Amino acid sequence: MSTAASILSRLPRGKQFADIKELLARLQDHLPEDQVNIVYEAYRFGADAHEGQKRLSGEPYISHPVAVAGILADLKLDYQSICAALLHDVIEDTGADKSLIADRFGDDVAEIVDGVSKLDQLQFKNRAEAQAQSFRKMLLAVAKDLRVILVKLADRLHNMRTLGVLAADKRGRIARETLEIYAPIANRLGIHSMRVELEDLSFQHLHPRRYKVLEKNLKKSVGNQRQVVKKILATVTAALEDAGIDGRITGREKHLFSIYQKMRRKRRSLSEIVDVYGFRAVVEGVDTCYRTLGVVHRLYKPMPGRFKDYIAIPRMNGYQSLHTTLFGPNGVPIEVQIRTNDMDKLAEAGVASHWLYKSGEKQGSSAQARAREWLERMVEMQDTGSSEEFLESVRIDLFPEKVYVFTPNGDILRLPRGATAVDFAYAVHTDVGNRCVGAKIERRLVPLHTLLRNGQSVEIVTARGAKPNPAWANFVVTAKARAAIRTYLKNLRNSEAVRLGKRLLTKSLTDLSFTLRKVKREKLQATLEEMKLDSAEELYAEIGLGKQLAPLIARRLMPETDPDKSEPETSRGPLAIYGTEGMLIAYARCCYPIPPDDIMGYLSAGRGLVIHRDACGNLGDYRKQPDKWIAVEWEKNIEREFQVEIRVDVVNRMGVLAAVSANIANSKSNIENVQVVERDGDNSTLTFMIQVNNGEHLQRVMRGIGAMPEVLRAQRICA
């Protein structure tokens, strides 16, 4: 009898042993018998260590490590990863230590377990710092061994699968953290299957009602689309056979969270989103991918501008595929992905698809090489500030939307969408970023804050003795650039910071047709007392070090405005924007921000600080002047009303305007203005300007309107 079979036969019968039996049976498919035996020993060690411990669901605690190991077994990981999964909570929750694990199972397993463990033994100022420091330690351990993050992701995935036993507030916190950190990391490492499940589970716990509605309606739409999908599959399959191409064509499953994101981003209804049919063609060889592309383009007309070649230029996580969108039968959109078998495996499992931890060799696939390159950048940034700053830098770096630009030598650099020439300079090298004084795009000199677009060739102009400009921090988007600039600012000598801050404040006052000499002493002293500073030099240093924004301080130092002068659109009543005491505040009429919208402040001549929503469509032009942008946030517990514009599509009936208006009034919202635009004989569009307290109040108004039988659709209007 083989070792693995012998182990299975020796395990007692009973429900509590079913999971480990199933795990060992699955491991026999890709692990030799001696390694399966070591995994069993790790299970016994973990079961003994967790003896008597139970999960909140009432199950024995060892069921969780076994489930985590099962997730990694699906990815065909090595036995050391499986052992670490079975032991990942031993250091944290039992009396066993790292040295004991190293003695029993080797240094590699001990290092992985230690990297995953939290830092409960240390004292932190708050929960956010503890979370950030724990994540920082884990990420640095990942830089040594990528398997640490794979175990952590599997741990988080099983916790998300069993999140229902926790209280609602804790579920929400864990789900948000998963959506902001762990799902993007899975995407960064190319593990598509894990990312999709993490996102959908997070969505389910963050917005349970929205999730249920989407899930229910999606099942209906899939049923309605079955015949169309079947017809397209048959047509494409026959065309490939005629061309002599051997491959498999499948319909792609809908990803609930991605559908939800697309609905929000494009402001479309569910029916408009799910009417796009998705297919995947998996063939042999890169040449065959391009031949297949030709076949489907001959079969259905391609949509202009909707083709992406991720084979020639892979994504940051190593993902490769051809993407094209076609006009299908009756004009329905068809999205087709074309890739090889290896590309398909990489797309699903990412860095775990080509695990090469054999004979001490730790050189992985191209996906692993890209992952290591990213992790090395994270290690470079980890000394630039506090743990919370580091975690924020990681968050910034995880957003997947990219632009692809070329160096003068023809090398490709991948940067986040919205990246500038300064981000490009720091991506080349930190020293290049620190010494850059100008940039050339397509051989033409441009400002350093110029946004980069796909396919551009970028060259950085440097000068000896040049230093980073603190104003760059207002427009750079990459974590590396932010960290480098922050490091430079923190290392400035105090005298330099004072001189720099005074110069920046002088410029901001000049922009307001004022000077530093004209600032009254009592006004300066009142500002210093309000900011708890002892002298003007301290104020200049705060500005020079980037802790305070010169435009905002300049506004505080300006003389009081004439109260008799009219101030259109200004804020009245209690303070709504944190830290803007004494400033003229206006709310943009293009997007009508309300709490808790994400907002930005724009310094406008004659209007003061104008508050826009981050999602406002007019921000593209304003962002070309980064020195006038100020990060702002809402005050807590605001008690005032805000204007917001909504659009209601209704069926033309007698009294429908009165009925909708009454419904809005019943939701305790005042109507300031209403317009009626007739679209056709049957339907009309009503545009209301109403007053609400916050986003929650607006949602109540919209739910009340949406429930009316004569209302087809109700939505908020934003530029």
Amino acid at 292: T
Query: What is the Cα–Cα distance from 565 to 421, expressed in whole angstroms?
Result: 43
What are the angstrom distances between the C-alpha of 674 and each of 81, 588, 696? 63, 19, 22
- 586 and 609 Cβ atoms separated by less than 8 Å: yes
Q: Which H or E element spans position 511?
A: helix 494-511
Q: Which tokens go with 464? A: 């000896």
Residues of the chain by 3-state class (helix, strand, coil), percent to 5 = 50, 15, 30
Nearest C-alpha neighbor of 659 from the set 590, 597, 709, 617:
709
How does DSSP classify residue 624? T
- Residue 323 near residue 195, CB atoms below 8 Å: no
Handedness of CA 145, 146, 151, 152 (dihedral sign): positive
Indicate if the alpha-carbon torsion angle 624, 628, 631, 633 is positive or negative: negative
Q: How many CB atoms lie within 10 A of CB 254?
A: 18
Tell me the one-letter amino acid at 186: A
The Cα-based distances of 696 to 245, 314, 555, 594, 702 in angstroms read 55, 42, 32, 10, 10
Catalytic residue numbers, as ranges: 92-93
Instruction: Give the separation between CA 69 and CA 85, rounded to whole angstroms.
Output: 5
Rounded Cα gap, residues 362 and 139, in angstroms: 18
Amino acid at 372: R
| Best CA proximity match to 335, nearest among 315, 359, 295, 307 | 307
Q: How many residues does the structure list for the chain?
A: 719
Q: For residue 188, how many other CB atoms are within 10 A of its CB?
A: 25
Q: What's the rounded Cα separation, in Å, for the pair 584 and 600? A: 15
d(CA 718, CA 599): 13
**Residues with Cβ < 8 Å from 633, sequence gap 6 or more?**
577, 578, 599
SS3 438: strand
Q: 645 — phi, psi (to 5°)?
A: -110, 130
- 418 vs 292, 404, 424, 451, 710, CA distance in Å? 34, 11, 11, 6, 42
